[in-house]
Structure 1
Amino acid sequence: MAATRWEIRARTRAALDAFERLVRGLGTALLALIVTVTAAVTALACLVGVGLILVPFVVRLLRVVADQERERLSRTGPELLGHQPAPVRLRAITADRAVRRELRWAALHGTLGLLAGLLALALPLNVLRDGSFALWWRLVPPEGATPSFGYPVVHDQAGASLVSLLGVVWLALVVFGLPALARLQEAPGRRLLAPDPGADLVLRVAELTATRAAALDAHAAELRRIERALHDGTQNRIVAVSVLLGAARRAVARDPAGAEDLLERAQGAAEEALADLRAVVRTILPPVLTDRSLTDAVRSLAATCPVPVEVDADVPGRCAASVEATAYFVVAEALTNVAKHSGAERATVRLRRDRDRLLLSVTDDGHGGAGEGTGSGLLGIRRRAEAHDGSVDLSSPPGGPTRLEVSLPCGS
């Protein structure tokens, strides 16, 4: 029963998330339609030579709108990198494959994407109109007492009840159809606005330069964290042990009973220092990860999480130690966020190996709203993943659910 309620909540939130994506897509679709019409008018004007001076302006406008769509799509899926500034010379414009692909996207998104956005607005209105039809159909003129699609005219309460049942059909379309409609609206952008293969090398060099810098920053931050943990915890306890041992040595002759108490306290401080040291070592590379497997290490994290966590793992064989350590860090940081910030009642960790990729996801049913700028450690997760040439996809709409997906290369 609890699982059914959780599934209903998840589907409802997915539908709300899809509705938001479709409405945002409706905005870029209107811009794409304007660009498409402008480009068509400019092309016609070029036949008489007048439109040639407008071509660079239209191309720059197209690039701005396409970059808006890239930014929108990157929030809910793999990042779409932008292109270099739009060309200004006519010969360069006609030879640029990216411009042609963006024109095709503008034409598709300005028509099909616009229709998808309008349909997303119409479906909830139909739910409200037809679902409440039985309450108000007598209050309108007889010719106006029709379902949302305008036919047939209803003359009795039985017909009005059937129209209200139609509202349930619209509601099912909203819950189950909006996510598919959002993916359909986004498909042309994900296919046509991705970097052109010819420009991939330049973008790849820039991306690797950025991820190398991020990896160095993450490494420096990790060293600082270890240094603070050793300085503030272990070192202070070892100093306490030294002080207590010195006091016990001086007290042996004059107060043997007091010396015994000091030695007992020193032993306790030494044990605490060892516990702190083991904790620091486990954060560097947990022994269970070395001795057993990534699956066992993740299960140990789930067992210590205050929120109930289901682990669904299918990772045959072993990956590189650095990849497994990164995956372990991602799960540990994500579950810490779930426990501290999400307000979730349950969470799920999934691990899969798909040929040469290690895929992991952490999902919770909390209140959502997670982001890299909220101080939740998500920026550190992205930096660690990108240092391995991996990718991070976060979906956390207000109201939840939150889903963190990470893909890491792990060899074939």
Structure 2
Amino acid sequence: MRRRMRIAVDALEHLVGGLGTSILAITGLFWLLGVVVLSLVGIGVPLIPGALGVVRSIADRERGRLSRWGPGIVGPAPVPDRPLAALRDPAVRRELAWLPVHAFFGFATGLFGLSLPLSALQSLTFPFWYHLVPPGESAPNLPFWNADTLVEAIGVALVGVGWLVVLLVAGGRLARAQAWPGRRLLGPVPGADLSLRVAELTATRAAALDAHAAELRRIERSLHDGTQNRLVAVTVLLGAARRAFDRDPATGAELLDRAQQAAEQALGELRTVVRGILPPVLDDRGLAGALDGLVAGCALPCSLDVDLPVRCAVSVEATAYFVVAEALTNAVKHSGATSVTVSVRIDGDKLMIRVGDDGQGGADESAGSGLAGIRRRVEAHDGRFTLTSPAGGPTTMDVELPCGS
């Protein structure tokens, strides 16, 4: 039930966002029709590229909205300056086909989706103010229902429960229906998908190689600066102890004790390096249990919401663990936050991670706070990393990973 409510809230947010872009689409449609009328009398032709640029701007807003809620949509090349060349552009023609559809269908679905919670709120609270309605008049949103008594007002409240049920059941479908024309018409033109995908995979492959090289350097530094020095100390102490036993057994025993301590420290550092490669807790307790341990050890109050009905690939779980661990470390060290929230769930074939804090904001990937490392790891899995951190806060980090790779 909780998951369905979260889906309904997300769907309502999508519908309201689509309602906003549909209002822009209506404005752009009227402007475009005005340019067409002017072109018929010969004075609107120079305005065509500008009008198509307005349509492109509105379409880009919709692309950005859809990319925030799902797979990214890559925008086309700029609109050509010459009217005929612009009208021959396949991307422009697809945007012209999308504009009236979103202007009317997107507006209708967004308005209906927004009316569901408002109607539910109005109906649910009707028993508290039904006596303010003049006798004989119908209940709000129910033109054939006169509610002059408390029992009838309670019936209206039950209708409000029905509106909420409709939102819970159909909200996600409405949001997908509203987004479908944009995903169908605003994506790359047929034939461009393959080349864009090749470019995208080339970039993610380079990110994977960079992340792998960075990880090897980190392991090498850890072994060289820590474990190797400890093992050298063990060798020196053992040699000194062997020579000292002939002259002074007590000194030899003391050197052996120091060698044992150095060996134990080297073993501890080796375990730390191994945990950094693949935390054993992931095998023992799974990602949910591992994250629970991370949150329990966080220096700030931290709430965890995990919905993982299935296991993901081992490499994906290790990346998710690293992402949350690094994000919590950043929140403790840099954000000045008083609380942190962590949400991890599976949505279709994607692992969705959100880490937010109420700190001072202003997080910058180039400032050496570990965010660049998070991005490299995520992109190595062909995932998506989004950081929202305005000055003054709050900071929200969203990560999307393919669950099976």
TM-score, structure 2 normalization: 0.76
Of 324, 332, 337, which residue of structure 1 is paired with 2:321? Answer: 332
For 1:57, the equivalent position in structure 2 comes to 50
Q: CA RMSD in A?
A: 4.2
- Deviations, residues 10-48 of structure 1 (Å, cap 9, x unaligned): 222222222222222221111111111222222232222
Q: Report the Cα offset of residue 120 of structure 1.
A: 2.5
Q: Report the Cα offset of residue 367 of structure 1.
A: 6.9
Range that drifts further, 327-336 or 18-27: 327-336
Map residues 119-198 of structure 1 onto 2, 5 A cutoff. Answer: 119-198=112-191
For 1:79, the equivalent position in structure 2 comes to 72
Contact 2:238 2:256 in 1 (8 A): yes
AA aligned opposite 1:406? L
Of 377, 382, 402, which residue of structure 2 is paired with 1:407? Answer: 402
Evaluate the alpha carbon distance shift between residue 190 and residue 380 of structure 1 in structure 2; reply closer, same or farther with a 3 A threshold.
farther
- Deviations, residues 315-340 of structure 1 (Å, cap 9, x unaligned): 9xxxxxxxx67435324325647987
- For 1:256 and 1:122, locate their aligned partners in 2 and report how far apart those are by CA, in whole Å: 89
Q: Report the Cα offset of residue 382 of structure 1.
A: 5.2
- Deviations, residues 57-90 of structure 1 (Å, cap 9, x unaligned): 0111111111111111111111111111111212
Structure 1 segments unaligned to the other structure (5+ residues): 1-6, 289-295, 316-323, 353-358
Contact 1:29 1:113 in 2 (8 A): yes
Map residues 9-408 of structure 1 onto 2, 5 A cutoff. Answer: 10-200=3-193, 203-204=196-197, 206-242=199-235, 244-245=237-238, 248=241, 251-253=244-246, 255-281=248-274, 283-284=276-277, 297=283, 304-307=290-293, 313=310, 326-334=315-323, 336=325, 359=349, 361=351, 380=373, 383-384=376-377, 386-387=379-380, 390-392=382-384, 405-407=400-402
- 3-state SS of 1:151 partner: strand
Range that drifts further, 299-308 or 72-81: 299-308
- For 1:51 and 1:345, locate their aligned partners in 2 and report how far apart those are by CA, in whole Å: 54
Range that drifts further, 255-264 or 205-214: 205-214
Evaluate the alpha carbon distance shift between residue 144 and residue 207 of structure 1 in structure 2; reply closer, same or farther with a 3 A threshold.
same
- For 1:81 and 1:12, locate their aligned partners in 2 and report how far apart those are by CA, in whole Å: 31
Q: Report the Cα offset of residue 303 of structure 1.
A: 5.6
Evaluate the alpha carbon distance shift between residue 208 and residue 338 of structure 1 in structure 2; reply closer, same or farther with a 3 A threshold.
closer
Q: Report the Cα offset of residue 172 of structure 1.
A: 1.5
AA aligned opposite 1:361? L
Number of residue pairs the alignment of both structures matches: 376
Contact 2:109 2:178 in 1 (8 A): yes
Contact 1:101 1:193 in 2 (8 A): yes
Structure 2 segments unaligned to the other structure (5+ residues): 294-303, 332-338
